[in-house]
Structure 1
Amino acid sequence: MDVLPFNDDLLNYWAHYGIFEDTLRHFKVRSLKRYESISAEGKKFELKASPTEPIFAYPGIDYIKLYRPHSAKMRFLYGGRMPAIYCFGMEQIPTKGDMLFITGGEKDVLSLYAHGFNAICFNSETAQIPESIIESLRLRFRHIIILYDADETGLREARRQTEQLAEYKILNLTLPLCGSKTEKDVSNYFALGNGSKELKALLSKMFSDMYSQTMMMLRSCEIDYDNPPDASKSVVAVNGVPLGTQDNLFCITGGE
């Protein structure tokens, strides 16, 4: 593995998404000139970077994940011993925080961090998020939000993950993107000219909608102490013992 220093052309690729060299260094992202290894079939192979096909690397302990953004084949490649649970960005998140995004890929983690947000990703959107990790993260972050791609796969998997992790109150934010190849993930969202302000506005609306439902339910429980309610009247009783009163029975009807 030959490391290639980041030049202007390589940095321009990342800058398109608001990611600069300090973020790349913080996450230990590397640019490679050449990579050679042995395939699962035992054959030796070599990859060489070019101005039109750069090779970026996300190194870990005893493994490496390669990213070739402009390559038609093998955009992602793995080398070494991959861990049982691959999670990018876990080392960089704070001990405590308000929000944590679980997103679809490493580039999205980088772009979110560059815009002031905490984020991690697993191996892919279709990988099941381990409950053991979610349990740990719930102790550290107030809100955990799934932010997957706005394409068919991302929307489906975001719903599935949210449902399977419902007991942990995981939230799901869908970006207002068309879902095309160049307009589907949060990196594309930033590349289109949006920034932290616009993403925070989406979050504000999501939380507002969520808490307005809760407040609507709570208002029915409020007591006006200047006008206290009448004494409860028994509706159902057995041998003089009330089993249901007007204020503890809730009915759902067919119309207003």
Structure 2
Amino acid sequence: MKFEVKNGCFGYKNTKILRNINFEVRNGEVLSVLGSNGVGKTTMLKCMMGLLKWESGESLIDGISIKNIKNRDFWQKIAYVPQAKGSAFGYSAIDMVTLGRSAHLGTFSQPKAEDRDAAERAMEDMGITYLADKLCTEMSGGELQMVLIARALTIDPSMLVLDEPESNLDFKNQLIILETIRKLSEKRSISAIVNTHYPEHALKISDKALILNRDGTNIFGNAEDIVNEDNMKRSFSVQVFIDNFSYMGKEYKSVTPLYLV
């Protein structure tokens, strides 16, 4: 599947937030969306999925505008994982994950055995079967984030859309989330679009990157090419130093913020 945005523009009142957004993501590719707070990253995700309407431009799947794709068909291809901010509902993990099958259910249908089986497989793939009976209200942020990703996987999507999946998590849980996204792209050929505040994370897991700037401009391209010191300085108003190093036979990149500019 190829998902693309062509000339996407959006604004509130007289303020243009997003201007001429253009990008594409194909099977198995990971795209990271970077930019400072308030620049419109979450707004961009909502526009591209049709939750907000582009003022001009369009989103397409395999060359077909999503305006011409039935809502049910769209949500069987695209799975959205919002920020994990805690749950107000006392669902157990297995019940929360089973809810992800709603795109395959009729309006008044109840989950069937096959839906429960799909939920159990998704939890097994994520390595969180031990959470099955735990209430979402009692979970840590990392646990809940993994449950939300498992819920998204129950529909066997072609693409995951994740809004800051590693924010407010400790180092270990951040690494688990990042490795999970990369594993899904490599082993299941699921593409992913990920909002993140961390340039280092983008370099770790991404094939492509989209940088949103406060002046409404943006930069899209291969992650290693555009996540560089000059673009980080322009987007975040911070001078950074990007270093390459090897550890136990593997190559890594580190991004160190130096000072404000």
Pick the TM interval, shorter chain: under 0.3
Whichever of the two has the greater Rg, that structure is 1
Superposition TM-score, scaled by structure 1 size:
0.25
Higher normalized strand content (fraction of residues): 2
* Bigger relative contact order, structure 1 or 2 (CA pairs below 8 A, ≥6 apart): 2
Superposition TM-score, scaled by structure 2 size:
0.25
